[in-house]
Amino acid sequence: MSDSTNPIYVLLAPGFGALAGAFFAFIFLKLAEFLTRVHQRKVKHYNSLVLLETQLNELLGIIYDNIYTISSFKEIINSGKIHFGKLRLIPIDRSHYSNLLDVALKNDLFTYNYKLRKLNDDIDNITNGYTDIKNALLQKNISHEDYLVNVKFTADFLTKLGKYLKSIYDQTIGLLVKVRLMSKKDLPLGTKILRWFIRKSGSNLSKSELDEETKKLLNEIEKTENRSQKEIDDILENN
């Protein structure tokens, strides 16, 4: 008697077939879920790199502005005058820790943010300290001679702070370079495929098109400024 005609085989074969089908379906389902999670994790990592690149560019501008402000700050208070400008605190975003995959980059970012926190403490201290000195002079609680003595220490601290800011500026550039390179190399597969189907016009813009659009934009800005000035002049004349 062959297996195909064996009563036991006839009874059990459909069950084994159904079991095997269910088993492989389960395996494929779990594999699909795993690959989906991997892709989603890579997308989070990539999106975090893109956002971090934008933020670091913004930080470069703030740090540079602070370096410029310190120069005029020192010059003004050393001349015995009052400085009314303000140093800006550096924004710190710690949300990237949970999204980035690269451990080395996480460590670099953690160290960088720690230095930013210390820098913000110094900026906060110098700002509050000078504000007290300035207000004391304005309220005539101290003499101008006392003001000069106190701001000498402020100027010395500003010199040290300026050097630290320049160091942080260089470190920001170094971190930005790493993030930019990683964002190019860590592009998710799905994003790579989508780029083939998404039409981008930025690289096809000619210089003449850019120049012409620039003229239009400047003209619109000028018209807006003239209209605003006319409205202000009309209000002043009526009053």
Q: Minimum mean pLDDT among 91-95, 111-115, 210-214: which range? A: 210-214
> Bigger pLDDT: 45 or 146?
146
> Bigger pLDDT: 49 or 7?
49
Q: Is residue 121 part of a domain?
A: yes
φ, ψ dihedrals at 85, nearest 5°: -75, 180
Q: Is residue 94 part of a domain?
A: yes
Mean pLDDT of 130-155: 92
Q: Is residue 96 part of a domain?
A: yes
What's the half-sphere exposure (Cβ side, CA atoms, 13 Å) at 95?
Answer: 9
Q: Is residue 13 part of a domain?
A: no
Looking at residue 15, its amino acid is G
> Bigger pLDDT: 82 or 38?
82
Nearest Cα to Cα of residue 41 among 178, 191, 188: 188
Q: Is residue 230 part of a domain?
A: no
Q: Is residue 78 part of a domain?
A: yes
Supply the range of the domain harboring residue 97: 47-199
Could you give the number of structural domains in the chain?
1
The answer, yes or no, to whether residue 198 has pLDDT greater than 60, is no
Provide the pLDDT for residue 228: 67
- Contact at 8 Å (CB) between 22 and 156? no
Nearest Cα to Cα of residue 187 among 46, 50, 51, 54: 46
The answer, yes or no, to whether residue 157 has pLDDT greater than 60, is yes
Nearest Cα to Cα of residue 52 among 89, 87, 101: 101
CA dist list (Å): 37 to 32, 80, 192: 9, 63, 18
Q: Is residue 20 part of a domain?
A: no
The answer, yes or no, to whether residue 17 has pLDDT greater than 70, is no
The answer, yes or no, to whether residue 171 has pLDDT greater than 70, is yes
Provide the pLDDT for residue 62: 94
Q: Is residue 25 part of a domain?
A: no
